[in-house]
Amino acid sequence: PPIHRFDLGVVKKTQIAERFSFVIEAIAANAFNTPEWYDSLNGSTPTSSTFGNIGGVKGLTNYPRQIILSGKILF
């Protein structure tokens, strides 16, 4: 099965004064937390008893959702 990871990001810049601005940013890696499935060993062989079966979730290689929030002042 294909691997689907969706990363999203939002940035908002607000002018505070003539020389100062504030930037707030949110980044979500693997935003929808989609599991990654193993293929079964014989899942693609039509005569196999495991044909069409999914072997399970990849465990620790399944990247968890990560959210990063940051703010900075630019001058």
Residue type at 11 in one-letter notation: V
The number of helix segments (H) and strand segments (E) in the chain equals: 0, 5
| Torsion of Cα atoms, 50 then 52 then 58 then 61, to 10° | 130
Every domain of the chain and the residues it spans: 8-74
Pairing between strand 21-29 and 8-15? Answer: antiparallel
* pLDDT of the chain, 75 residues: tens digit per residue: 566 788 999 999 999 999 999 999 999 998 988 777 666 555 566 676 666 666 665 555 567 889 999 999 999
Residue type at 32 in one-letter notation: F
This prediction has a pTM of 0.60
- How open is the CA angle 31-32-38, to the nearest 5 degrees? 115
